[in-house]
A = this chain, B = another copy of it.
Amino acid sequence: MADDDPGEVPRPPDVVRRLALLWDPPTPSARGRRPRFVLADVVQAGITVALDGGLEALSMRRVAAELGVGAMSLYTYVPGRAELIDLMIDRAYGELDLPVAGMPWRAALDQYARQFWQLYLRHPWLLQTTSWRTPLAPHVLDAEEAGLRTLIDTPLTETQVVDFLGLVNSMVQGLARGAIAEAQERASSGQSWDDYWTSVSSFWQDWFDTDRYPVMTRVWNAGAFEKASDFESILERLLDAVEGSIARARTSAVEVSEDAASR
């Protein structure tokens, strides 16, 4: 008998376990030594660590310390750091209060965008996730489903729906990034980061050339950098743009049907 498992292994178990952890809740077997925690406790500890210190502070040792446990104990709950982050993301997305089916599209999309906006402000570490795609997690797909649903019954084509939803997501992410940056700069005014801050602001005197950057200087003097990023109004403008496209799609759909009828 070989030392390799002789059973059928059609796929590498890494990906399977990664997905199973997200989609099949791990039932704790009654046999063997009692676990001190459940999976959700580990995920919660990870979020706690990420909330102060960001994703770069999320080390297995730190999370384990948060639980008062050795680092390697985490590996009975989670295959590794990447999977823990997936679970954290899924749990965070679970906080979203998503628009239900049947709402008017504009109210639904508005709620969708606002919910993400608040989620990012509540969990800035979500924006530090470095991977290119969002994980295939239940609550993540729930959110995507709800987002697509807001526009799917409009005259827009499916491709347009996907595009507009991506546009809304990008906008919310971008504005949230700016807001978080501003908040962190504001928060770093205390501490000994004070001299850091004065150093950075001294940049404007030592190196910034108002002749090279006249427009930035004008915008700065107008105070537009401080009060920018008004999420509410920008979102409204974006929804206006969507509304315009819907109206255009409706008229062209009428034209098409008239065209078909005239034949």
Partner-B contacts on A (CB < 8 A): 11-12, 15-16, 19, 23, 55-56, 128, 130, 132-133, 136, 141-142, 144-145, 148-149, 152, 157-159, 161-163, 166-167, 169-171, 173-175, 177-178, 180-181, 184-185, 195-196, 198-200, 202-203, 206-207, 212-216, 218-219, 222-225, 227-230, 233-234, 237-238, 240-241, 244-245
Closest A-B pairs by Cβ, 6 of them: A170-B174, A132-B181, A158-B224, A241-B241, A158-B222, A15-B199
A194 nearest CB across to chain B (Å): 11
The 8 Å CB contact of A216, one of B141, B166, B173, B177, is B141
A203 to B158, CA, bound (A): 23
Q: Is the CB of A141 within 8 A of B15?
A: no
A19 to B178, CA, bound (A): 22
**Oligomeric state, in number of copies?**
2
Add 16 more A-B contacts to A145-B213, A167-B234 (CB < 8 A).
A12-B196, A136-B203, A148-B216, A152-B218, A158-B218, A158-B222, A159-B227, A162-B228, A166-B229, A167-B238, A169-B174, A237-B241, A237-B245, A238-B241, A240-B244, A241-B244
